[in-house]
Amino acid sequence: MEATILRPRKPLLWIALAAIVGIVAADHVALPPAPLLAGAGIAAAVAIIFPSRPLCLLLVALAFAELHTMRHVESPAWRMALALNESPRAIRAEGVVWSQPVAFTDGRGRQRATFWMKTDHLTGAGIQRGIGGLCLVRWSGVPPALGDLVEIAGSAQALEETRNPGEFDTAAWLRRQGVYFQIVTPSQTDCHITGHDAGPWGRAYATSAREWINERLALGLPHDPETSALISSMVLGMRGETPPEMKDLFQKTGTLHLFAVSGLNVAMLATIAWHVLKPLRIRRGGATLVIIPLLAAYAIITGLGASCVRATVMAAIILLAPLLARRASPMNGIAAAALAILAWDTNQLFSPGFQLSFVLVLVIIALARPIQRRIEAFALPDEFIPRRLWTAAQRTRIAAWGAFAAAAGVTLSAWIGSLLFMAGYFHLVSPAAIVANLVAVPLAFIVLSLGLFSLLAGLLAAPLAVIVNHANWLSAKALLGAVAAFSKIPGGHVYVELPRPGPEPACEITVLDAGEGAVVHLRADGRDWLVDAGHQRDYERTLLPYLRSRGVNRLEGIILTHGDSTHVGGAAAVIWDFAPRWIADTPDRDLSSVRRSLHAELAARSLGRRFLSRGDSIALGPDATLRVLYPPREIERTQADDKALVLMLEAQGRRVLLTSDAGFHTEQWMLAHEPGLLADVLVKGWADRDLSGTPDFIAAAAPRAIICSGEEFGKSADSLAGWMAPIVKNGTVVLPQSRHGAVRIAIFRDAGIRVETWRP
């Protein structure tokens, strides 16, 4: 007698939506926990007496709002962070190393490490009791291991905020992980390991399992870190092992999702397990009870990512539904996965991975099948020909086309679903992703399959695992080659800027905070220029993400004011990524090895350059010009700062003076030879071992606002304050970037001018 399959219901869908509403409300409206708890209690009592759907949904919303408030909005660590925003504090802390330490060597050759610590006790000035929760530790000396007990003394500080637009907001990301402040240790004597193996067993198990699996995946392979990292990333989600250049290729082709352990991995693992158990004649119920724990273990090993947890919960529901005489509902499974993740950590709702994972699945469910049917229709014979009369060739063609239509339906719907996320988070639109995924996903499936087969083969015989690993190495190489080819398609990927409120300026100058260096982005008439490129070490973190966030795909030109490594160190990378139509420099020779290396690279790539000197000008747009005020061709100086380009930007009747690292000699020369120094805004650096920003020069320029870059290393805050005091007293606004970060100057067509700082 067959069991009756009941109609699927979706009770969890509305509950999940109510939970999301509660979390969002608690995150944006700072409600005290007591009223939320009282409201949840009242809603629960009324719902028991008068059960109804609206009351139940209200109860869920209030419960998740209370959960989010207690865990994050009103936690002791959060309150500690608020106090540290005013001033750092000397503290002593004891706790457990909660994340895998990241070791590195600083500029002086000393060992350092960063990790998260779960604090058991924290004491210091103004702290009345111990504060639990997580904090970021900047450790000095030989790093501890995950799970070690440590005791440290140092300075508790607020998290470092972003200083430039486009930068990854590490502080905001850490807060979403429950890390609200950091402890900086000055020396190795302040850091002590007091015990071992004190962390949660789950984390230790996951870490050791990942290391063991990673060793098996690389067994017998040639020394090829790039390909080995790709295999590890795709099988285990170990994206930290992947070189940035490789991630960039996958991002440009819209195939970065292959690095996330997601539904593809879970479905494949479940399929392999099912086919392994099937010859053993294990019944469906027994196989389900084996597969579900296997998928859960895989999710733990790979780090409990949102996409993997979602796929694991959905797979469990699909496998269990027939055993409970119900038809599985994908929507109900998605809602159950969302509730499980949000109950574990409500902050996951604000994670791009969580959002992308669930939205993609919803869009694929909604669009994949309709798209597939439309594509299939192109290969169908005349509808009046009965199916039984189709020839063998027609059946083969229709079957092949049907497989292609199914893949195209999923690929197109996934591309549509990810479009806003890619533009919003990565500022990228990748039309090439549609074709790239049709090739890359099957190759990725082969890599994943061979990776899992390698683990099974390793349990039987090591030589067999080596053979499988070599086959996997070839598959990964083919995948890398395919992705690299798709990334070179002209127009295959385009960086875009999100719309900004307000009128579009006629000319825009953005002065990035590059520490002691300089980077100035000019935009006029829809075209982009750079003045200097900052230090090489800051390029990936600061300049590259900024230009991509502004939708820059190619630069009109780059102007290098002088050969200081903090001004031209990133130029080679800029030239490689943004292919400027011209490069301008000064004709003067200096002792800068960085500048000589750049010139050698330009010569090797047959790229010419302009030489600018006093009197030259560059037309940026119909009413925007950049004039060179200094140096004259006949100047003879030995210091690079004394030969730096000084530029005057004129647009819509407004003037912005850019003096680079001009010092006393340059300023005196311009006072004697340049009558037109008046400017609305002055953008200046600091001369090395020389006076800069002298009163006479400031008076001659008479700017309404001065933007000054980071002070020279070792220069005290008092010296900056002393320089600023008389200038501010005369009514000029001074914006030191060490405090305000990047500064944007917008000049409008009505001659209006606005100066905005990135940080308040």
Q: How high is the pLDDT of residue 682?
A: 96
Pinpoint the alpha helices (H) of 506-609: 544-549, 565-568, 571-578, 593-604
Helix and strand totals (H; E) in the chain:
24, 24
Assess whether pLDDT exceeds 90 at residue 411: no
Tokens found for residue 352: 């791009």
Average pLDDT over residues 158-164: 90
DSSP symbol at 190 = G
Q: What is the pLDDT of residue 683?
A: 95
Q: DSSP code of 377?
A: G
Q: What's the DSSP call for residue 72? A: I
pLDDT digits (tens, 9 = 90+) for 651-682: 999 999 999 988 888 999 999 999 989 999 99
pLDDT score, position 748? 93
Q: Which amino acid does the sequence have at 50?
A: F
Q: Is the pLDDT higher at 665 or at 75?
A: 665
Whole-number mean pLDDT of the chain? 84
Per-residue model confidence (pLDDT) at position 591: 59
What's the confidence (pLDDT) of residue 1?
43
Domain spanning 86-199: which CATH class is it, in words? mainly beta
Q: What is the pLDDT of residue 249?
A: 84
Element (H, E) at 358: helix 352-376
Poorest-pLDDT segment among 151-165, 445-459, 502-516: 445-459
- Mean pLDDT along residues 351-363: 84
Is the per-residue pLDDT at 636 higher than 70?
no
3-state SS class at 459: helix
pLDDT digits (tens, 9 = 90+) for 93-116: 899 998 889 898 876 778 999 999
> pLDDT tens digit string along 13-43?
889 999 999 999 988 887 788 888 888 888 8
| pLDDT at residue 597 in the model | 80
- Domain 507-757 fold is Metallo-beta-lactamase; Chain A (3.60.15)
Could you tell me where the beta strands, DSSP code E, fall in 71-110?
A: 89-97, 102-105
Q: Which of 120 and 708 is assigned the larger pLDDT?
A: 708
pLDDT of residue 549: 94
pLDDT for the residue 177 = 86
- Cα 469 to Cα 232: distance, rounded to the nearest angstrom: 12
Contact 63, 40 (CB under 8 A): yes
| pLDDT given for residue 714 in this prediction | 47
Question: Which residue's entry shows tokens 């007496």?
Answer: 49
Per-position b or e across 483-512, b if 16+ CB within 10 A of its CB? beebbeeeebbebbeeeeeeeebbbbbbbb
Give dist(CA 737, CA 510) in Å, integer: 12
pLDDT of residue 313: 80
CA-to-CA separations, 555 to 159, 269, 492, 580, 625, in angstroms, rounded: 34, 46, 18, 4, 17
For 127, list phi and psi in degrees, rounded to 5.
-105, 115
Per the model's pLDDT, the better-predicted residue between 4 and 407 turns out to be: 407
Q: Mean pLDDT highest for which of 293-307, 326-340, 384-398, 668-682?
A: 668-682
For the chain, give every domain's residue range: 11-73, 86-199, 208-364+418-487, 507-757
Q: pLDDT by residue (tens digit) across 220-265? A: 887 777 788 888 888 877 665 667 778 888 888 888 777 766 777 7
Q: Which residue has the tokens 């647009």?
A: 651
Angle, helices 284-301/201-217, rounded to nearest 10 degrees: 90
Q: What is the pLDDT of residue 706?
A: 95
Comparing CA positions, the residue from 462, 546, 446 lying closest to residue 168 is 546
pLDDT surpassing 80 at residue 638? no
- Of 70-84, 137-151, 343-357, 438-452, give the lowest mean pLDDT range: 70-84
Highest mean pLDDT among 47-51, 456-460, 743-747: 743-747
**Residue 325: pLDDT over 70:** no
pLDDT of 275 strictly over 70:
yes
Q: Which amino acid, one-letter code, is at 193?
A: I
Determine the pLDDT at residue 8: 52
State the maximum Cα–Cα separation within the chain, in Å, rounded to a whole number.
104
Label residue 6 by pLDDT band (50, 70, 90): very low
Residue range 524-576, pLDDT digits in tens: 999 999 999 999 888 999 999 999 999 999 999 999 998 888 888 899 899 98
**In 218-351, where does DSSP find H-type helix?**
225-236, 244-252, 263-277, 284-301, 306-320, 330-344
- How many CB atoms within 10 Å of residue 731? 7
